[in-house]
A and B are shown apart, each in its own frame.
Chain A
């Protein structure tokens, strides 16, 4: 066997050759190499361009706080349910204790849990929103995330303002076992009430949205808006590959694949996302109408 590390020359891989569940890291350091076009980019320039590669349009992962800052109107945000915290209901332990994983994630991400719930305005329109923190245990949904998502929907219902969830999650949090699974039912039940009341809910699908988060509120929006080339699906690509034992078609489970198969309404580049959301919210009847304000 040839050791791949000893190769003299490594062929640059195009993104489609990468394993489908490629980790899309948040740009850091002075230079960032674009995994798609292989260009070395100044990280500062990249940030100014909303973490999108200026030459090939590759969408890097965006830090959740940055996303909130570019999505919500400045000074309009009030955060909720900051004090809702995990309690390790199973006393779960694998190679590490679950409670220690939580602590480590808090340190590395600077957030309390994998979802930030807030109220604020988007282009002047009042909304209730939840932003997944992928940096926190892969954005996985346990009891806390499920509760906070449900409260976003309940506040939206009470105030009759639109709800938005910006999803980015590997799915249910295994360390909370069956209680994580039940968060799918709980959040979907809250959506059922929103829908009956005619309160708009936009599902924004970011890279990656899979498992229990895809198979609940993320696929129940009045509109499904995805960023380009986000991985979106029920089962992870590796699970599918292990089950069917054949290679997956290029572009499988990407935003474009979902749009082609009828599960995403539109794919919107990051720079147009806020304007598109505002347009949709106005069309759905939220906030002051154009020409009326």
Chain B
């Protein structure tokens, strides 16, 4: 069942996580021994402090490429993991009323702390079978037409829209092109730009290009601490501009894909802290932080009139970009 709250699965360990994870395993083994003496307790506390210090140091010095790896971490919470924790009475709604249902895009209705909302988000799969069914979170046109339909539903009944972004990108395939992937993404951008209700979007993992942005035009846009957001995948950028996909780490650094960099460029409003060691280490704690940020955003947005919302959203995106103008203003977003 997709809405069941599952505990964090045993996740594979990334290279740079290993020292901390090994210490934590050691702690667990020591704790597992019965009848701890005070000496043992002291030893455990000592190792715990070491593990925490090490984790803080490693995570404060992560390279952009390491953040990309964290954002794609197979143990990372996905859209449904958060919905199970922050949305009450969630009911998934299916289909674009025209062609099909796309399970790479989750859409539904429920309550966020008592407020009726439409929730949308890309969903990657965790096991091979689900990955296939979810197309690795790569949405096809019918997925975007479903999300647009549900946004318009929210607009008709004056409820806010919450979007969780987590996709490598919109699906690049023959069928997607036949059904107008470009048109579907474009139309989503227009629909979001003129939606008369509050929209809050959060990049929870991979913010992959237009496929992510198609549910990312919002009044308040946030990123989880270790999420990334980019115009093209680091691999794609590397193969085109660096002429080798091996240079993806360089491409990730050059494109400025991490949350602090995106914040500095004026594209997001806020960074949401994750659990220590990354969202995958503690789903509940990260979901609590996410809920707190959404609550603050809705408190600010819900009193605004439809026209105020639309005007503010227009001005927000109108300012994005960096250019100089001869004889005029110099501007960085």
Contact = CB atoms under 8 A, between A and B. Distances in A.
B179 A177 contact: no
A234 B231 contact: no
Contacts of A156: none
B109 interface: no
B305 interface: no
A176 B267 contact: no
B255 A186 contact: no
A182 B182 contact: no
A131 interface: no
B325 A83 contact: yes
A292 interface: no
A5 interface: no
Contact of A181 (B176, B231, B243, B330): B231
B3 interface: no
A189 B193 contact: yes
A278 B173 CA distance: 36
A147 B329 CA distance: 13
A69 interface: no
Interface residues of A, number: 67
Interface string A194-228: 01100000000000001110111111100000000
B2 interface: no
Interface stretch (B145-153, B281-289, B291-299, B310-318): B310-318
Contacts of B186: 184, 188, 214-220
B174 A189 contact: no
Is the contact region of chain A dominated by helix, strand, or loop, or is it mixed? helix
B177 A177 contact: no
Interface in A227-244: 232-235, 239-240, 243-244
Nearest to A253: B177
Contact of B174 (A81, A192, A195, A244): A244
Contacts of A262: 180
Given A188-B186, A188-B189, A189-B217, A180 B181 contact: no
A275 interface: no
Given A181-B209, A195-B190, A261 B257 contact: no
Contacts of B178: 257, 261
B46 to A, nearest CB: 43
A172 B321 contact: no
A133 B256 CA distance: 27
B172 A182 contact: no
Given A87-B322, A240-B177, A243-B172, A185 B236 contact: no
A235 to B, nearest CB: 3
A177 B257 contact: yes
A185 B179 CA distance: 21
Given A86-B323, A189-B217, A234-B181, A179 B174 contact: no
Nearest to A243: B172
Interface stretch (A31-39, A45-53, A90-98, A119-127): A90-98
B32 interface: no
A243 B170 CA distance: 12
B276 to A, nearest CB: 27
Contact of A188 (B170, B174, B179, B190): B190
A150 to B, nearest CB: 7
Given A183-B320, A235-B177, A192 B193 contact: yes
Contacts of B320: 143, 146, 179, 182-183, 185-186
B240 interface: yes
A184 B323 contact: no
A174 B323 contact: no
B296 to A, nearest CB: 23
A101 B120 CA distance: 39
Contacts of A190: 318
Given A83-B327, A93-B254, A240-B177, A185 B193 contact: yes
Nearest to B318: A186
A90 B177 contact: no
A219 B179 CA distance: 13
B332 A87 contact: yes
Q: Which of A143, A146, A185 has the most CB of B within 10 A?
A: A185
Contacts of A185: 189, 192-193, 213, 216-217, 317, 320
Interface of A: 81-87, 89-90, 92-95, 142-144, 146-147, 150, 172, 174-186, 188-193, 195-196, 210-212, 214-220, 232-235, 239-240, 243-244, 248-249, 252-253, 257, 261-263
13 contacts: A93-B254, A142-B321, A144-B321, A146-B320, A174-B237, A177-B230, A179-B322, A183-B321, A185-B189, A216-B185, A216-B210, A234-B170, A244-B173
Given A83-B328, A86-B324, 14 more contacts: A84-B324, A176-B231, A179-B333, A181-B229, A182-B317, A185-B320, A189-B318, A191-B190, A192-B190, A210-B182, A212-B231, A216-B186, A233-B181, A234-B182
